[in-house]
């Protein structure tokens, strides 16, 4: 079977589109990972230097967003996860607009036995420069914020699991990962 020139062009364009979509989703996921691991360098590297992030009334340069997010998260929480769900993306050449739903779960420092659940969306404008996609502008929309009882990490269940660690010491950064890679546990031990 041989492809016609038209079919080859269509195939090339489809592969380029799918590659762009995956790279865009990857940069959005890396930004969330950077937030959750307090990896300021990773978080900021997902933004173009002339970019910006809007969270509520605060607009922060992309270059400073990692440090700012770390300060905010450290001040209020002992643990948090930004879980990405639905992702829509429109690619137009080297510009893209994405809408990514996010569910944030947070364990407040000052409220033992409580947890916070925040749902919203990231509205992003991304640009591809020199073959690399990054966020140019992000505006965060919050649609609900709930707080309620949460016994974690009390009880037997948490003691059996590794604990997430900030600033590059997390198990996710371990290379090569081994089944017996030492990791902090919720009971305060490392094993």
Domain boundaries, the chain: 5-151, 153-191
Give which of 141, 62, 137, 146 is closest to 101, Cα–Cα. 141
Whether pLDDT at 66 is above 90: yes
Quick: pLDDT tens for 148-182.
Answer: 998 877 777 777 788 888 987 888 888 898 888 88
Which residues, including other chains, have CB under 8 Å from residue 163's CB and lie 6 or more apart? Answer: 153, 183, 184, 185, 186
CB 163 within 8 A of CB 78: no
Whether pLDDT at 63 is above 80: yes
The DSSP string of 81-114 is EEEEEEEEEEEETTEEEEEEEEEEEEEESSSTTE
Whether pLDDT at 100 is above 90: yes
Region of poorest pLDDT, from 46-50, 111-115, 155-159: 155-159
Which residues, including other chains, have CB under 8 Å from residue 19's CB and lie 6 or more apart? Answer: none
CB 190 within 8 A of CB 184: yes
Mean pLDDT, residues 22-38 taken together: 97
**φ, ψ for residue 47, nearest 5 deg:** -110, 150
In whole angstroms, how far apart are CA 149 and each of 55, 77, 139, 144? Answer: 26, 15, 30, 17
CB 88 within 8 A of CB 99: yes
For the chain, the straight-line distance linking the first and the last C-alpha, in angstroms and rounded, comes to 56
**pLDDT at residue 27, rounded to an integer:** 98
Question: How many angstroms separate the CA atoms of 139 and 98, rounded?
Answer: 11
CATH architecture of 5-151: Roll (3.10)
Whether pLDDT at 111 is above 80: no
Question: How many angstroms separate the CA atoms of 107 and 80, rounded?
Answer: 6
pTM: 0.91
């Amino acid at each position: 079977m041989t492809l016609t020139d038209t079919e080859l062009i269509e195939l090339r364009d489809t592969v380029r589109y799918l590659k762009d979509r995956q790279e865009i989703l990857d940069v959005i996921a890396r930004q969330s990972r950077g937030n959750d691991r307090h990896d300021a360098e990773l978080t900021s590297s997902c933004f173009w230097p002339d970019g910006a992030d809007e969270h509520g009334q605060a607009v922060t340069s992309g270059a400073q967003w990692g440090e700012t997010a770390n300060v905010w998260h450290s001040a209020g929480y002992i643990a948090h996860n930004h879980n990405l769900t639905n992702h829509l993306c429109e690619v137009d050449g080297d510009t893209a607009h994405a809408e990514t739903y996010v569910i944030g779960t947070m364990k407040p420092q000052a409220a033992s036995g409580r947890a916070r659940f925040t749902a919203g969306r990231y509205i992003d404008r991304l640009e591809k420069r020199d073959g690399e996609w990054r966020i140019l502008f992000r505006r965060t929309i919050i649609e609900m914020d709930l707080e309620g009882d949460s016994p974690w990490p009390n009880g037997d269940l948490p003691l059996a699991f590794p604990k997430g660690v900030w600033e590059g010491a997390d198990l996710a950064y371990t290379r090569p990962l081994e089944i017996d890679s030492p990791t902090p546990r919720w009971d305060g031990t490392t094993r």
